[in-house]
Structure 1
């Protein structure tokens, strides 16, 4: 883990969505477990660690390869989407997420989201929180890697974050961007993009977390903005 002396001031913030802002990872695990069980296979936390942060197609291929499932990614998606539609109706924010968003907004820090979600997945997940994600209340823009024509390679490649940084107005210097991620693939992508990255890792994947973030914290509630040249929380 980096020491506080190695942190650099930042001007822009990019957030992941799943498992970082929204509490979706347990739902993903439940849905994929249900599908793999139909084929007598067990979806494990170790496989989950490899899928997190990837686009739906890439994540499905990872599971299919790991468990030797007789499916294509497209077939897996068709099996998963009805389950997601049911389970994603009542998603809540992760601890500390809204507090951090409100704080950064108060101090006029430009923010964006860089998610691997498809349009379908994104729309289902935000159904309870449209005022947060479908307006400019917090975010300058939202990048959905699974359907963005400018992103050729999803996380752990840097494309998602570099495209997201370029879409700020004016574009953000990657070295001045701070990324918040939960997945190892997301952290690797952010670091490869030349950005600093705070990881809030999913406890389920800790034994397989081989990412090297700038900083790792157990919860967004533990983040200290002043470490990165931002105004501190007042409470």
Structure 2
């Protein structure tokens, strides 16, 4: 397999850097259970990468919950304010981020999260996330008009790099179907690190699929290889 060499890297956060997708599942199921409903993995795949108001509306509609979008968000916030500070960094991710930072490869964060929830999720990981000089919060940034699978967030995130790279010079790391579609629509190569339950035939747009970030080899995309 051969891939185009890249010069800049963008990272999703939820389910890619942090295990917060697992926490989202717990929280959404807690709300769904109050009404005798089940938050399924299929529904989870549908909403992953969406902005806050978008995924709230999607869940309400799919599960026929007697809640407004604002009511759902408020209930979810109560749960996640307790869950998110317990988040952990997923295998292989910290090694890659520190490696790219040390090698002076421009890196940025492109998360659909709001700035406020980002702060809660990263409570115990400030040093790691301080390595990202450029951060884009899809649900807070007015320039991100539409959430994933639309490419807005990746265009906005890439534009924050001072040298304004062409999309084909940017590599995106994602864990969701919507994220892969968004990056592909932006004209960027994308590495998918999916939930093991995900049907990989649903993401033909992925440039490369790895089971864990521990499997990723930077040199495949013209990046400096790990030293060890």
Specify the TM-score bucket, using the shorter chain as the normaliser: over 0.9
**Does 1:55 find its partner at 2:51?**
yes
Superposition deviation, residue 208 in structure 1: 7.5
In the superposition, the TM-score normalised over structure 2's length comes to: 0.96
- Are 2:5 and 2:169, in contact at CA under 8 Å, matched by a contact in 1? yes
68-77 or 78-87: which moved more? 68-77
Partner of 2:71: 75
Runs of 5+ consecutive residues of structure 1 not aligned to the other structure: none
What is the alpha-carbon distance in structure 1 between the residues aligned to residue 143 and residue 206 of structure 2? Answer: 25
Q: State the superposition RMSD in angstroms.
A: 1.2
Runs of 5+ consecutive residues of structure 2 not aligned to the other structure: none
Q: What does 1:196-211 correspond to in 2, within 5 Å?
A: 196-204=189-197, 206-207=198-199, 210-211=202-203
Partner of 1:34: 30
Partner of 2:115: 119
What is the alpha-carbon distance in structure 1 between the residues aligned to residue 199 and residue 33 of structure 2? Answer: 23
Cα–Cα, structure 1 residues 67 and 17, in superposed 2: closer, same or farther, change >3 Å? same
**Does 1:99 find its partner at 2:95?**
yes
Superposition deviation, residue 162 in structure 1: 0.4
**Does 1:86 find its partner at 2:82?**
yes
Partner of 1:15: 11
- Are 1:184 and 1:209, in contact at CA under 8 Å, matched by a contact in 2? no
What is the alpha-carbon distance in structure 2 between the residues aligned to residue 68 and residue 160 of structure 1? Answer: 29
In the superposition, the TM-score normalised over structure 1's length comes to: 0.94
Q: What does 1:183-194 correspond to in 2, within 5 Å?
A: 183-194=176-187
What is the alpha-carbon distance in structure 1 between the residues aligned to residue 68 and residue 136 of structure 2? Answer: 25
Secondary structure of the 2:6 match is: coil
What is the alpha-carbon distance in structure 1 between the residues aligned to residue 29 and residue 156 of structure 2? Answer: 33
Cα–Cα, structure 1 residues 213 and 61, in superposed 2: closer, same or farther, change >3 Å? same
> Which runs of at least 4 in structure 1 moved beyond 6 Å after TM superposition?
none
Superposition deviation, residue 56 in structure 1: 1.4
Secondary structure of the 1:114 match is: strand
Secondary structure of the 2:202 match is: coil
Partner of 2:137: 144
**1:133-153 Cα distance to aligned partner (Å, 9 max, x none):** 2x3xx2121100101011111
Secondary structure of the 1:232 match is: coil
> 2:146 pairs with 145, 153, 164, which one?
153
What is the alpha-carbon distance in structure 2 between the residues aligned to residue 33 and residue 178 of structure 1? Answer: 33
- Are 1:181 and 1:199, in contact at CA under 8 Å, matched by a contact in 2? yes
